[in-house]
Structure 1
Amino acid sequence: MNQDIRLIDLFQARHRIRGHVLHTPLAASTSLTRRVGAPVHLKLECRQTTGSFKLRGATNALLALDDAARARGVIGVSTGNHGRALAHAAKRLGVRAVICMSRLVPANKVEAIRALGAEVHISGASQDEAELEVARLVREEGLTLLPPFDHPDVIAGQGTAGLEILDDLPSVDTVLVPLSGGGLLAGVALAMKSASRDIRVVGVTMERGCAMHASIQAGRPVQVEELETLADSLGGGIGLDNRYTFRMAQTLVDDTVLVSEAEIADAIRHAYREEQVIVEGAGAVGIAALLAGRVANPGTTAVLVSGANIDMALHRRLVCEEWNAGGT
């Protein structure tokens, strides 16, 4: 396969992060199996230590740094979950962490990062604008940049979730993966396609401003307007100078699917009522795609439920159906 990240990097990442992250459950879903007419399993990364898969990549990247790079402290831009993961891993290793976020990041995610002892910088109205603050701090303070997705060690760390799916469900036919910057999708797709080219890998994202989906459609990285969405963790650009995830998504992913805000809300409700799982909007998009019939003939399916870090007041509104698609 023609990319710089290899299957061996995923296995090395799994060895490196063992003891730092959980091997999360792969739970059979009776309700979705009945709906789809084929076995459906939920990979519950929402039960990871920091509430999302992001801990895998952040931990692997931090552990892979040399002592000098760690001593300078680390910095990242985040829509919430990468920042929380990086803050958690840095605290555990005694490393300074600085997290830059835009004003669109929900308050519950900002406060969770502060509670872990990281320094928080809120800058601009989009992740692209927050990245300008990252660049300034790297330049002025010499901090070590660990980005949320477009980094070999981050991608390899996220790909360990794919290795676990293969361990627990070797008969898998289709894997549905939330899509934002593509670090999770790229890593999981590498794991799946290395096992069998016949495993179908589908990236699922929101209709409201997914840069990677637009970039794949355009055949090159493009910018899109960052909009408010229930799937807030999937917001942000992929970088016009994207080095890894765009090319891997182009070559390894079979399809990308869009879901609406109403469909994401339905999926959050379904996860709570039928699966007894609290899931954030970004983590619910795979469930949304199945409920909406967006994936035809999936066969034995693994749905990666990527995170649980939803504002609980919003969750209560959604579960009680006091929310509408015009009022995110």
Structure 2
Amino acid sequence: MIDLEIIRDARKRISSHILSTPLVHSPSLSHVCGTTVGLKLEHHQTTGSFKLRGATNAILQLTEADRARGVIAVSTGNHGRALSYAARAVGSRATICMSRLVPENKVSEIRHLGADVRIIGGSQDEAQQEVDRLVANGLVMVPPFDHPDIVAGQGTIGLEIVEAVPNVATVIVGLSGGGLAAGVAAAVKGMRPCAKVVGVTMERGAAMKASLDAGKPVQVEEFPSLADALGGGIGLDNKLTFPMCRALLDDVVLLTDSEIAAGIRHAYEQEREIVEGAGAVGIAALLARKVAGLRGPVVLVLSGRNIDIELHRRVINGVKNPLGEMV
């Protein structure tokens, strides 16, 4: 388990390298829910997602020798961008392995940061095989979620939430490999044990939900989704985020792509925020009234903004199948 002390240490380490993002009141969602709702604007983070927190915390704890060897990771896009940025900042170089499901806009942004990009297979699990091969050849792996430095870095969001809303009752956060959800839950419950933390993910290919239901990590088939950043497996040898999510999450909510699209539209039309599908799942869960026993104050983590702008335009315009031939 990652505890409050470890997360506080991570905040001291990364504070000069990341943004402490705003937490703002949402009148529209407060009206929908009948209680106070706040938005943690983590999509305003440098590199456009929360991932920079964990990647920076991990990079800063590598030895000079390890930085010189270069770092490598599998990614659905946002971790790769964050790791590439953090590596470049300390004079290291990143190699990022991704599947064909990763949107091209995320791939190109990683290339612009000077990373060696490798597109491997049709799933994150297949891309991980290339990571394993290159680690055996000397590169240093910085995984996207199942690592104590990553979880602790993401957990700094939870510290900021409770400091901004000391009486927070419900925190809603996107759920994929579990780095964000586990870190935020550890911080929030460490400071406010009575608070409820809810993970939200897409209906098809939800690896952590399937694993929690099975009582152990399992593999799932990956599908294209508006919440592409939530895709991928959790690893059959998952050592940290699975047990933490099992112990700390109070519920997991599943969403259809139509519900996620509604969340993206609401963010744009009512909150004046551009968010990607994974960043909109908290809004979507509230709009779909899928959070059972909702108590306020509520805080949603808007986790990322790195959506292809043409895809965003199709969603906002109400295109019935915005993913087109991908679906």
TM category (shorter chain) comes to over 0.9
Q: What residue in structure 2 maps to residue 123 of structure 1?
A: 120
| In structure 2, C-alpha distance between the alignment counterparts of 1:54 and 1:302, rounded to whole Å | 19
Q: Deviations over 1:195-229 (max 9, x none)?
A: 12210000000001110010001111011000010
Q: Deviations over 1:112-165 (max 9, x none)?
A: 00001111011010000000000111112x011000000000000000010000
- Once the two structures are TM-superposed, the CA of residue 326 in structure 1 deviates from its matched residue by 7.8
Select which of 139, 143, 155 maps to 1:143: 139
Three-state SS of the structure 1 residue aligned to 2:101 is: coil
Three-state SS of the structure 2 residue aligned to 1:250 is: helix
* Partners of 2:67 and 2:91 within 8 A in 1: no
Asked if residue 245 in structure 1 is aligned to residue 241 in structure 2, the reply is: yes
Select which of 67, 84, 91 maps to 1:94: 91
| In structure 1, C-alpha distance between the alignment counterparts of 2:100 and 2:321, rounded to whole Å | 22
Select which of 25, 36, 53 maps to 2:22: 25
- Once the two structures are TM-superposed, the CA of residue 323 in structure 1 deviates from its matched residue by 3.3
Q: What residue in structure 2 maps to residue 291 of structure 1?
A: 287
Q: Which moved more, 1:5-14 or 1:239-248?
A: 5-14
- Once the two structures are TM-superposed, the CA of residue 71 in structure 1 deviates from its matched residue by 1.3
Matches within 5 A, 1:224-243: 224-243=220-239
Q: What residue in structure 1 maps to residue 176 of structure 2?
A: 180
RMSD, aligned CA: 1.0
Q: What residue in structure 2 maps to residue 282 of structure 1?
A: 278
Matches within 5 A, 1:313-328: 313-324=310-321, 327=324, 328=327
Asked if residue 308 in structure 1 is aligned to residue 312 in structure 2, the reply is: no
- Once the two structures are TM-superposed, the CA of residue 297 in structure 1 deviates from its matched residue by 2.4
Q: What residue in structure 2 maps to residue 111 of structure 1?
A: 108
* Partners of 1:261 and 1:325 within 8 A in 2: no
Q: Percent identity?
A: 62
Show structure 2 runs of 5+ residues with no match.
Answer: none
- Once the two structures are TM-superposed, the CA of residue 324 in structure 1 deviates from its matched residue by 2.7
Which TM-score applies when normalising by structure 1?
A: 0.97
User: Partner amino acid for 1:117?
Assistant: G
User: Partner amino acid for 1:138?
Assistant: V
* Partners of 2:173 and 2:180 within 8 A in 1: yes
Q: Deviations over 1:41-100 (max 9, x none)?
A: 000111001000000000000001111111111001000000000001111111011000
- Once the two structures are TM-superposed, the CA of residue 325 in structure 1 deviates from its matched residue by 7.2
- Once the two structures are TM-superposed, the CA of residue 7 in structure 1 deviates from its matched residue by 1.2
Three-state SS of the structure 2 residue aligned to 1:95 is: coil
